[in-house]
Amino acid sequence: MSIAVKNLSFAYGSHKVLEDISFTAHEGEMVYVLGANGAGKSTLFRCILGLTDSYGGIVLLNGHDIRKFNPSQLAAQMAYIPQNTFPTFSYSVEETILMGRAAFIKPFHSPGKKDYVLVRDAMRQLNIEKLAQKSFKEISGGEQQLVIIARALVQQTKILIMDEPTSSLDFGNQLRVLRKVKELTKKGYLVILSSHNPEHAFLFADRVLALADGKVAGCGKPEEVLTKKLMQKLYKEEVDIGQVQWGERTISYCLPSLGGENEAYVSVG
């Protein structure tokens, strides 16, 4: 499984949103897309997902131009997980996950045994079996996001595109969701997700794609790409990059400037 973006450019009229974007992502990787608001992250995802074809360059899915796939074929290859989901009706968790099988159930047919097996398997992978009969509206934000990920898993695709999946979650739920997503990459899934949190990229990303003004500002391992200079370029703020030793692993972190002449940056070692 792979996605390759080559010389991708996109514009709304005369306004350039993306310019000459190139990167590749492979199975088993978690690729973080970082950038300020308006950097082009959402537009990049729209191109990758085949939601628009009015762009220059090419997007390859497993070596094939995605413009040659129909929506059902793309749904069998990639799953999209939005920032937030606001259900209109009080569906149970099981019913919500089952919706991920919609593209595979013939019109006027009911879900079959295979569909329910896939739903139970997805819930087991994410450890949410106990939520099966609860109303989606009544569970916590972190649990809701895991349910939406489970809904994507029942599509039986190994590519997940996630648009700021932790933006509305508290600190604990952010970590719970990202740990589960990281576990999926160890099972061969390819995950591309956008985020505004460089700390998460340092903790979980295999590679980072940094966008600034619609262009690639950096691409590679987070500890190599997310330098003090690049972070200042992305967010127009003074920052410092520190490191902390955690067991055998050295983890980087981003420390913002608070202003004033007596600032002190602390590196824990």
Our count of domains for the chain comes to 1
Beta strands at 2-12 and 78-81: parallel, antiparallel or unpaired: unpaired
Q: 125: closest CA among 202, 69, 181?
A: 181
Residue 231 lies in a domain: no
C-alpha 156, offset from chain centre: 17
Residue 189 lies in a domain: yes
> For every residue of 140-164, which 3-state class applies, written as one string?
CHHHHHHHHHHHHHCCCCCEEEEEC
Q: What is the CATH number of the domain that holds 137?
A: 3.40.50.300
pTM: 0.86
Residue 34 lies in a domain: yes
Q: Are 254 and 198 in contact (CB under 8 A)?
A: yes
Question: Which range marks the domain in which residue 107 is found?
Answer: 2-219
Structure token pair of residue 34: 């970082």
Q: 88: closest CA among 44, 135, 42, 51?
A: 135
Per-residue confidence of the chain (269 residues) as pLDDT tens digits? 899 999 999 999 889 999 999 999 999 999 999 999 989 999 999 999 999 989 999 999 999 999 999 988 898 899 998 876 776 678 999 999 999 988 788 888 888 999 999 999 999 989 899 999 999 999 988 899 899 999 999 988 899 999 998 887 888 888 888 998 999 999 999 999 999 999 999 999 999 999 999 999 999 999 999 999 999 999 998 888 988 988 888 889 888 877 655 454 444 43
Question: Using CA atoms, how far apart are residues 142 and 53, in angstroms rounded to an integer?
Answer: 33
Residue 269 lies in a domain: no
Q: Where on the phi/psi map is residue 156: left (φ > 0), alpha (ψ -120 to 50), or beta?
A: left
